Amino acid sequence: MSAIAINPIYRAVRFYEAPIGKKVVMAVTGVMLVGYVIGHLLGNLQIYSANPEQINRYAAFLHNPASAIPLWAIRGVLLLAVVLHVTASVQLWLQNRAARPIGYVKKDDVPASYAARTMLWSGPIVGAFIVFHVLHLTVGAVLPLEDINGNPNTPNVYENVILGFQNPWVSGFYILAMILLCMHLYHGMWSMFQSVGISHPRYTPKLKTGAAILAILIAIGNCSIPIAVMTGLLHL
Amino acid sequence: MRIILHIWRQRNAGEKGRMVRYELPNVSEHMSFLEMLDVLNEELTMKGEEPVAFDHDCREGICGMCGAMVNGIAHGPLPGTTLCQLHMRHFKDGDELYLEPWRARAFPVVKDLVVDRSAFDRIIAAGGFISVATGSAPDGNAIPVQKESAENSMDAAACIGCGACVAMCPNASASLFLGAKIAHLGLLPQGQPERESRAVAMVAQANRELFGSCTNIGECEAVCPKDIKLEVIARMNRDFIRAKCGVG
Amino acid sequence: MELDSKSPAGPIETRWERQRFNLKLVNPANKRKYTIIVVGTGLAGGSAAASLGELGYNVNCFCFQDSPRRAHSIAAQGGINAAKNYHNDGDSVYRLFYDTVKGGDFRARESNVYRLAEISLNIIDQCVAQGVPFAREYSGYLDNRSFGGAQVSRTFYARGQTGQQLLLGAYQALERQIGAGQVTMFPRTEMLDLIVVEGRARGIVTRNLLTGAIESHIADAVVLATGGYANVYYLSTNAQGCNATAIWRAYKRGALFANPCFTQIHPTCIPVSGEYQSKLTLMSESLRNDGRVWVPLKKGDKRLAAQIPENERDYFLERKYPSFGNLVPRDVASRNAKQVCDEGRGVGESGLAVYLDFRDAIARLGKNVIKERYGNLFDMYERITGEDPYQTPMRIFPASHYTMGGLWVDYNLMSTIPGMYVIGEANFSDHGANRLGASALMQGLGDGYFVLPNTIGDYLASTKFEKVDTGHAAVREAEAQVAAITARLLGAKGTRSVDACYRELGKVMWEYCGMARNAAGLKQALAKIPELRERFWRDVKVLGSGEELNQALERAGRAADFFELAELMCLDALNRNESCGGHFREEYQTPEGEAARDDEHYSYAAAWEFRGAGNAPVVHKEPLTFEYVHPSQRSYK
């Protein structure tokens, strides 16, 4: 074997060049992103705590200068994951589009494949949503964010969320995005196993059901917050 | 019954094609789909119009030569059935049917509904075999094969290489075809020595042929006339990853 | 002409071994200097091309389909015989040999049959090693079943797709050689003539089916593995593309055609449903292991099967053949089915069918067992007929299926044209007048993997080849002939489609030279066929040009050859004044209605020589001697 074949970077590049390599990258980054989505949801659900201060304390903990290094490390890793996930998917999309230059006059689809076939636009919309979400509730570019005592390390998350979601357009967009995220996650969570080569006639159907349940739970959890604000369940 | 057909007509690879409408007033429900096309071709011949070219041979669903998109579904609406085995009793009077050739960059149209699927042969030539020269085999019973492995292997080996998976896949991916061969040979003890190199070689050839890649949609599985399961693709991925990363 | 079978004398058990020792070998370094053409990629052609490539020869391989994997061997369902005696049930090479000679009704060459039985062992080993997923027992060892009347379990199978799996094994081996550059594959290319130079086969003329280009390919030896000619009946279980063109053109170039009238009718096919019918679908005769064949006792009984009480059913095979019952050989089962239908007791709309009933087997074994054994066949039946065979009995009728006749070959599988070998169903060699179930796959693979690669070297090593190129006069002449036929077909500009003409030929052949024949009918056919042929050439309508993919032109060329072959079949059937195996002459039967052989006068292979268009062919006889299995009347009572 030549030295070049043994070089791990070279091997990684060659691996990524193959479509299966790209799918593996999407699966691995997908796992990370799903983990983040779940963690983020659990953090958010603290908004239902009897004490409105609960979620603000959590935010303060994250924003504490002592947490800065791990926080930015995690953010960096997540950003890298997003970049890789998106890059791989765009490359695959371009390749796959080129694989059929002339389409069908009439094409039917299999109903079960709905979530899978919509990955391509559920992905970008969820992506756009994430940008909006960061601008909205992290950066404060959509509407000014309140801090407790004017200290940027202690944001008043409770108030910001409730004020933010009182706008029906914003809430509507959040809910729509969460439904798409749900579909995206449903397909992503079982197909990542398929991509890395794990499939079994007995367990794969269960895996699909599990993925569906988890995706729906995530969607319910996330959608509940704007709904709770709109219905006045959560208020200042 | 009366059937209206819209068929893709294209004189040769170089020319542009178009859909042409035909009407068949007297189709028997006992006819197979291809027999209906035979009747159409006889009528066209008598009228002095060139008959529709379509690939077919065994007409019993095993050679894998036939196939066309019928109303946007590879091999037509009946699951687990090749076009030659589809009978007209599954359609009703007045149905309009759109017939198109398999579409993929790797399957260029030759004429009308005939496409060139030689890419599949090149994929097999790249590694879809067990390298055993004639005469060098040990006794057939020298290597016991678990019944379950043999059965699963047979499930995958049932692939007829028709190309419906590619035609139906929104990505024009050949993964189900690849996975079927990789699973067929990789599930047997005889196939183990070349298992990883086989997956790598076949996948590389498929990429050279410009097939798309699998995004786990499952349309291939739904139209496969031999019910090959998506699992075989996971198996291909596993063998490929194992070969490339030395893990798995 | 003296027909020298070149089969060695001496003890039959060592004939093949001695022959292999006595044949000349080609030095390994010299093999690459030889080019061999293999036409056809079924079990015989595919395995031969792969094996010759492995040996180091340059191989050019041709098939008319778009891929070598599609050859019609793929449709064989039931299984492949091998005398492994894995079941300790008394099987042996000798017993397989004995069964095959007897099953062939003593019209095969003993040496060939013994060799086939011997090689059967290696075939299974080879296929297992290639990854053919044969059925297994729970122990992991190979499973067997008894098949088609055999009294031992010697049939290896891969569900109902044995032919497919064996062919894929050979195809994969072939693709490996294509990948290695040893074999050059020419798919969608049809052989249209044989090039004979100085009496030796030196190449073929082909038509590229995509571009229409007529091309010549030169080689040192030509192997024909182009299958049988059952499509002479128009409706048969063969694939649409199966044709006799290659062997017929070789016949017209001087190869002898042996026993053309030996055709096999398969008893378990799905009946015809209408005039548009393009083919008949065979269902594995393994179905007869558990299904019971019956018709109503009364003529014209149009009640549904379920409404016919037990005592009004005639299980005619069980009644007439108590010891073999539903498992009598194919020809016996077929003829009896035809007989009850001729009596007006046939079932279904056309009255041309008998029931194959699984009611009792389902009651005895349970639906699951039946499903496991025959699930795919039941599904296929339901798909085609729209009826559920778990509920109502299947309707079956015999259909033309396999042709034992073919080009005459010697023990080395070489035809009477030096340098031209014929293997698989295309030759006449091993099955005599009737082929046993699960033996076709065995013969195809035996010829291709183990016989031909051993024998072809002898010819190559012992022949001095003069230089031939595509400019040679013989090549030009062959090309001109091919072009003339194409031009004539396109130029007829008649009023009838190819199929309209061809269908008529099929009906005549089925009527007069089918399951049962008689002199009067054959003479009638011999009068009708030239008329039909003449009308075909005058009135056929083929559109389009020769310079493109033109499927009607392909079909017309194949049909044209069937119009000629049909006549030779009838001549041969008329010449053979006896009944044997698949050739049943109504005048020659025992009082019980069994085939009556005439060993005194007809214990020979009839090899016909072409004497030019318009001249009667001449028959040459290769006498058959039986040193080991002594001719006896078959009895399945």
Residue C622 lies in a domain: no
- Same domain (yes/no): C406, C533: no
Are C and A touching by the rule of 3+ CB pairs within 8 Å?
A: no
Given phi > 0 = left and psi -120 to 50 = alpha, else beta, which region is B206?
A: alpha
Residue C139 lies in a domain: yes
- Same domain (yes/no): B59, B122: no
| C236 neighbors C401 (Cβ within 8 angstroms) | yes
Residue C31: its chain B contacts at CB < 8 A? none
- Same domain (yes/no): B56, B93: yes
Residue C68: its chain B contacts at CB < 8 A? 121
Tell me how close the Cα of C630 comes to any Cα of chain B, in angstroms: 32
Q: Which of B213, B227, B233, B239 would you mutate first to test chain A, the one with the most A CBs within 10 A?
A: B213
- CB pair distance less than 8 Å for C122 and B124: no
HEC readout, C607-635: EEECCCCCCCCEEEEEECCCCCCCCCCCC
Classify residue A139 by its DSSP letter: I
- Same domain (yes/no): B171, B121: yes
- Same domain (yes/no): B139, B90: no
Residue B219: its chain A contacts at CB < 8 A? 109-110, 113
| C332 neighbors C288 (Cβ within 8 angstroms) | no
- Residue-level pLDDT at C4: 95
**Which amino acid is present at C198?**
E
- Give the distance, in angstroms, between the CA of residue A123 and the centroid of all CA atoms in the same chain: 9
The answer, for A11 touching chain B at a CB cutoff of 8 Å, is: yes
- Same domain (yes/no): B127, B230: yes
Tell me how close the Cα of C371 comes to any Cα of chain B, in angstroms: 15
Q: Angle of helix A119-133 relative to helix A168-195, nearest 10 degrees?
A: 130
Question: For the residues of C498-511, what is the DSSP string, one character each?
Answer: HHHHHHHHHHHHHH
| C210 neighbors B115 (Cβ within 8 angstroms) | no
Among chain B residues, the shortest Cα distance to A11 is held by: B244
Identify which of B203, B219, B234 has the shortest CB distance to residue A199: B234
pLDDT tens digits along B145-204: 999 999 999 999 999 999 999 999 999 999 999 999 999 999 999 999 999 999 999 999
- Same domain (yes/no): C119, C236: yes
Residue B129: its chain C contacts at CB < 8 A? 130-131, 172-173, 175-176
CB atoms near residue C491 (< 10 Å): 10
CATH code of residue A68? 1.20.1300
Residue A180 lies in a domain: yes
Domain span at residue A122 reads 3-101+112-230
How many inter-chain contacts (B to C, CB under 8 Å) are there? 223
Classify residue C425 by its DSSP letter: G
In which residue ranges of chain C is pLDDT below 70?
Answer: 148-149, 634
CATH code of residue C391? 3.90.700.10
- Same domain (yes/no): C260, C270: no
Among B40, B66, B100, residue at a domain's last position: B100
- CB pair distance less than 8 Å for B144 and C187: no
Q: Count how many Cα atoms sit within 13 Å of the Cα of residue C148 in the half-sphere of its side chain.
A: 28
Residue B30 lies in a domain: yes
Q: Which chains share 3+ C-beta pairs under 8 angstroms with A?
A: B
Residue A135 lies in a domain: yes
- Residue-level pLDDT at C594: 83
- Same domain (yes/no): C288, C215: no
Residue C618 lies in a domain: no
Residue A66 lies in a domain: yes
Six-digit token string for B181: 């061969």
Tell me how close the Cα of A98 comes to any Cα of chain B, in angstroms: 7
Six-digit token string for A121: 């636009």
- Residue-level pLDDT at A4: 52
Classify residue C446 by its DSSP letter: I
Tell me how close the Cα of A76 comes to any Cα of chain B, in angstroms: 26
Residue C616 lies in a domain: no
Residue B230 lies in a domain: yes
Among B71, B100, B129, residue at a domain's last position: B100
| C256 neighbors C306 (Cβ within 8 angstroms) | no
Tell me how close the Cα of C56 comes to any Cα of chain B, in angstroms: 12
Among C380, C399, C418, residue at a domain's last position: C399
Six-digit token string for B78: 């009946």
The alpha-carbon radius of gyration of chain C (Å, integer) is 24
Question: What is the helix (H) or strand (E) element at residue B117, kind and residue range?
Answer: none
Tell me how close the Cα of C311 comes to any Cα of chain B, in angstroms: 33
Q: Which of C63, C549, C550 would you mutate first to test chain B, the one with the most B CBs within 10 A?
A: C549
Distance between CA atoms of A112 and A187, rounded to whole angstroms?
A: 11
CATH code of residue B189? 1.10.1060.10
Residue A33 lies in a domain: yes
Residue B101: its chain A contacts at CB < 8 A? none
Domain span at residue C478 reads 473-610
Residue C90 lies in a domain: yes
- Residue-level pLDDT at C406: 98
Count structural domains, chain B.
2
- CB pair distance less than 8 Å for A98 and B237: no
Question: What is the helix (H) or strand (E) element at residue A52, kind and residue range?
Answer: none
- Same domain (yes/no): B201, B231: yes
- Same domain (yes/no): B179, B74: no
* A positions 59-118 inside 8 Å of B (CB): 92, 95-96, 98-110, 112-113, 116-117
By DSSP bridging, strand C354-357 and strand C257-258 are unpaired
Residue A82 lies in a domain: yes
- Same domain (yes/no): C524, C449: no
Residue C627 lies in a domain: no
Among chain B residues, the shortest Cα distance to C385 is held by: B30
Residue in this structure with the two tokens 């072409």, named with its chain if needed = C610
Distance between CA atoms of C124 and B140, rounded to whole angstroms?
A: 6
Residue in this structure with the two tokens 């085999």, named with its chain if needed = B137
Distance between CA atoms of C413 and C427, rounded to whole angstroms?
A: 8
The dihedral sign for the CA sequence B141, B142, B145, B147: positive
Residue B248: band (very low, low, confident or very high) from pLDDT cuts 50, 70, 90:
very low
- Residue-level pLDDT at A5: 54
Domain span at residue B14 reads 3-100
- CB pair distance less than 8 Å for A108 and B73: yes
- Same domain (yes/no): B93, B128: no
Among B75, B100, B125, residue at a domain's last position: B100
Residue A183: its chain B contacts at CB < 8 A? none
Tell me how close the Cα of A89 comes to any Cα of chain B, in angstroms: 10
CA distance to C261, C268, C439, C471, C505, per residue, from C229 (Å): 11, 19, 17, 32, 13
Count structural domains, chain C.
3
- CB pair distance less than 8 Å for B214 and A22: no
Q: Which chains share 3+ C-beta pairs under 8 angstroms with C?
A: B
- CB pair distance less than 8 Å for C141 and B144: yes
Among chain B residues, the shortest Cα distance to C156 is held by: B140
Residue B109 lies in a domain: no
- Residue-level pLDDT at A1: 43
- CB pair distance less than 8 Å for C185 and B133: no
Six-digit token string for C459: 């010819």
Q: Residues of C244-278 as b/e, b for ≥16 C-beta within 10 angstroms?
A: bbbbbbbbbbbbbbbbbbbbbbbbbbbbbbeebbb
Q: Which of A93, A199, A204 would you mutate first to test chain B, the one with the most B CBs within 10 A?
A: A199
Closest CA to A85 of A23, A19, A16, A18: A23
- Same domain (yes/no): C380, C440: no
- Same domain (yes/no): C62, C183: yes
| B51 neighbors B60 (Cβ within 8 angstroms) | no
Identify which of B34, B64, B65 has the shortest CB distance to residue C278: B34
- Give the distance, in angstroms, between the CA of residue B6 and the centroid of all CA atoms in the same chain: 22
- Residue-level pLDDT at A85: 96
Distance between CA atoms of C35 and C52, rounded to whole angstroms?
A: 10
- CB pair distance less than 8 Å for C384 and B38: no
- Same domain (yes/no): C132, C247: yes
- Same domain (yes/no): B8, B124: no
Residue C5 lies in a domain: no
The answer, yes or no, to whether residue B95 has pLDDT greater than 50, is yes
| C15 neighbors C7 (Cβ within 8 angstroms) | yes
Helix (H, G, I), strand (E, B) or coil at C486: helix
Question: What is the helix (H) or strand (E) element at residue A126, kind and residue range?
Answer: helix A119-133
- Same domain (yes/no): C368, C416: no
In which residue ranges of chain A is pLDDT below 50?
Answer: 1-3
CATH code of residue B60? 3.10.20.30
Count structural domains, chain A.
1
Tell me how close the Cα of A204 comes to any Cα of chain B, in angstroms: 9
Among chain B residues, the shortest Cα distance to C243 is held by: B57
- Same domain (yes/no): C315, C414: no
Residue B107 lies in a domain: no
Distance between CA atoms of B190 and B184, rounded to whole angstroms?
A: 11
Active site residues of C: 330
- Residue-level pLDDT at B247: 55
Helix (H, G, I), strand (E, B) or coil at B6: strand
Distance between CA atoms of C360 and C372, rounded to whole angstroms?
A: 16
- Same domain (yes/no): B136, B217: yes
- Same domain (yes/no): C283, C237: no
Tell me how close the Cα of B183 comes to any Cα of chain A, in angstroms: 12
CATH code of residue C78? 3.50.50.60
Six-digit token string for C425: 């169903």
Residue B10: its chain C contacts at CB < 8 A? none
- CB pair distance less than 8 Å for B219 and A98: no
Residue B101: its chain C contacts at CB < 8 A? none
Six-digit token string for C430: 């091993």
Distance between CA atoms of B176 and B215, rounded to whole angstroms?
A: 12
- CB pair distance less than 8 Å for B117 and C67: yes
Residue B35 lies in a domain: yes
Residue C126: its chain B contacts at CB < 8 A? 132, 134-135, 137
- CB pair distance less than 8 Å for C384 and B63: no
- CB pair distance less than 8 Å for B81 and C175: no
- Same domain (yes/no): B237, B153: yes
Q: Which of A11, A15, A94, A107 would you mutate first to test chain B, the one with the most B CBs within 10 A?
A: A107
- CB pair distance less than 8 Å for B215 and A15: no
Six-digit token string for C447: 């010829």
Residue B195 lies in a domain: yes
- Same domain (yes/no): C428, C484: no
CA distance to B120, C159, C291, C327, per residue, from C365 (Å): 42, 18, 12, 19
Among chain B residues, the shortest Cα distance to A117 is held by: B217
Residue B30: its chain C contacts at CB < 8 A? 273-274
- Residue-level pLDDT at A223: 96
Residue B38: its chain C contacts at CB < 8 A? 276, 278, 499
Residue A107 lies in a domain: no
| C424 neighbors C412 (Cβ within 8 angstroms) | no
C242: CB partners within 8 A, 6+ apart: C72, C227, C228, C229, C230, C231, C236
